[in-house]
Structure 1
Amino acid sequence: MKAAQFSRFGGPEVLEIVDLPDPHAGPGQVRVAVRAAGVNASDWKKRQGLMDQELPQTMGYEVAGIVDELGEGVTKVDIGDRVFGFSTEGPAQAELAVLSFYAPIPASLDFAAAAALPVAVETAARALDQLGVRNGNTLLVNGASGSIGRAAVSFAVARGARAIGTCGAANHEVVRSCGGEPVTYGDGMVQRVRALAPDGVDLALDVAGNGVLPDLIDLAGGPEHVVTIADFAGAEQYGVRFSRGDAGRALYTLDQIGDLIESGGFSVPVGATFPLTDIAEAHRAGETGQVGGKLVLLVGGSR
């Protein structure tokens, strides 16, 4: 199969498309003919040598495709089904991928939109679980208009919580569409939040990592009521929990997200798509931050 790989660390130019042996599904797994694969910041961090040090490396873990091989014991999907999920034991940015965690693609989504889901929904749900968000809480989401922020607002509202979300003025309607109450970033943010919640909030989630942890701690009444997914240094400095997947992933969200999407309660915008062969261009677009929405690699058709 064809797959994206790099054999030395560096810029996007080190990426290449290589031939690798076809993977096969093990017990409980499915293999898919990949139609779309998500691109994340971790991809270029790996390529730059800021994470794993092994060489060569393949990349990606968000996949949407068509099941073409079933592992032993798989009963909830069949050959030919459209599924999305995580490729944890091999590349996702490839023609074939083996999924250990997967679910049917919601009927309203194409492959690109489905490939944009796994990281956003798992990360958001995990952070809400770690915060203990439940019915009756007021949650502040800092950075509510991006993929993870939208998911956090939508999930909090679905749990019966009130969600206040910080974002740029141009994205207020995005937050409202997820059931949240928007507040503009920047100077005066604390006062604007208190105008909506005079006694502060119960809990706060930092998705943006833009240096406002002290404000979130103030609004939520202490660092124990705040989780960040984006500010590791700030978490250490202020005693805030940094959300990590190694503490337990919220993989149940793959099965649950379909109902929320089909009801109109959640979506992840795809900002740009690239053929697998143009993966270097996808990395350049991601690193510049000039594309709003998720970056997705296409392999074959988009539906």
Structure 2
Amino acid sequence: MECIKFSIGGLFEKHDFLKRFMEIYKSDSDKFYDYISISSFFGSVKCNWNGGRIINDYWDRNPEMIARYMRENYPEIECRLTFTNTFIEESDLEDEVGNKLLELFNYGHNGVIVYSEILEEYIRKHYPKYRIISSITKSLNKENTIKELHKDYSLVVLNTNYILDKEFVSTLPNKQKIEILVNDACSKICPKRLEHYLSYSRDQKNNSHTRFCNCESSGPLYELKDKELFISNEKILDYVNMGITNFKIQGRTNYDYDLLETLVYYLVKPEYTLEIREKFMLNLID
């Protein structure tokens, strides 16, 4: 079987959590599925370029320390900056925090997840080392998804409204460039998906609280498993059979215990889930 690559949310927001989890991932590698790999972490600190879930001050971390830690300890893992705000203007290109992050992670094969063409062009010109990833927040329709897959992107995150349309997904070109979100925060095919993403971006720039999706809430993992858009391990294998091997786990604003349950579900062999979960919790006590 081809290697299944997972991108996990929380590069900054869940740094301490992921640091502990990765220690177990390395020391107990035989207890994780041998056909999966953690290929990248994604996230952002608060800045005008951030999109997706709003990042408040109390979630901020030391980006210098995190960049140094990732470079020294996990150079093989891609760090992806979620610069997906939909309302970026030319004046925003001077954002001090965004530019600082680009400088800090401008090594190896790191990536930037983008929505704005203005920011994309700026990064391609001034930071050509970065892999450019087309954001799920674009909410592309079917025609534009196909066009996007022919463009110069390392990955295109598929609009979640289409992930269950197997006929459409199976006919997409360049499947090695497709990434699928397995645990969408919205639990159903949502006609207001783009509207919600716009709201998150607007709130980030206005320094206001996120208005979370008012559709049916996905809830914790045990509830999410029964929802329409949940991609189970069995469903993941269906996509792999189509030629898709890149998958994304959101959770950078989730509670730690829920993110732990999610990672254990997707990454750990069933007979070791309790052991890995308890090792993680014991590390917290130590």
TM-score (norm 1): 0.27
* Bigger relative contact order, structure 1 or 2 (CA pairs below 8 A, ≥6 apart): 2
Q: Which has the higher strand share?
A: 1
TM-score (norm 2): 0.29
Larger Rg, first or second structure (1 or 2):
1
Q: Which has the higher helix share?
A: 2
